[in-house]
Amino acid sequence: MNKKSCLNCGHEISDEFCPHCGQKSNTARITSRSLIKSDILGSVWHVEAKFFRTLKHVLLGPGRMGMDYISGKRIKYYNLFSLLLILFGFNVLAMHLYLDLNPNEIPEGSTKVIDVFSKYSKTILFVLIPLLALNAWILFKRIKLNFAEHIIMASVSLSGILTLLLLDDLVSIVAVFKPLSKIFSIIDKIIVFSCVVFPAFTYWNAFKESYPKLGLWWRLLVFYILMGIECLLIIALLYKNILS
């Protein structure tokens, strides 16, 4: 087997990647062709493919993806916290675009409410993650995940909700055009319902082999009761901020 030195760190390599620094062994002089194919198109395609592949797993198998991520199978997935921030940013942009296209949807006197929610939206996002994780950590003890691992599960669940909300924003934007409004109004209701049940889908998908159906159902019911109480407290605190 031919061996050569890594152009990055000088270590001897005989495989596709350098075992010391991870650089590819076929790194060569930059040409116009390699610049376009590998450096530009390759990097863009790699990031986009990973991003959309992760979204697919988030929507279709969030529990399995979360457990895979926790078990160490991470290279095929986009970084979860970067994913959350990107999805959050897209949601904010889509919401503002919708309100710009349809200003009549802003009730009179509710500008302050929107401003407060916009101001604290990131805080709400990052408060919800530990709350989801804490509730799951209390209720799903048999799985023996630590709190940090439940943070991962909560992040996957919230990524799915943000993806669905982004889809809902896009549907609402299209529904501004009256001929399509009735059809997209039905789609909007389906997506909102999907957002509500998505955490249950995540934990069912992850833990269905570890609990009997009845045991999983009552845990999910308690999980939603706890989340409902916590969300009401968050809304109450925001409402107090609006009035002050």
Query: 97-126, pLDDT tens digit by residue?
Result: 777 777 665 555 555 556 666 666 667 777
Which pLDDT band, with edges at 50, 70 and 90, does 86 fall under? confident
**Reported pTM:** 0.77
CA atoms of 17 and 55, how far apart (whole Å): 28
Q: Which is more confidently placed, 32 or 54?
A: 54
pLDDT of 31 higher than 80: no
Q: Which is more confidently placed, 63 or 231?
A: 63
- Give pairs for 137-146: CB < 8 Å, separation 24+: 139/219, 139/222, 139/223, 140/203, 140/207, 140/219, 142/210, 142/211, 143/206, 143/207, 143/210, 145/70
Mean pLDDT of the chain: 79
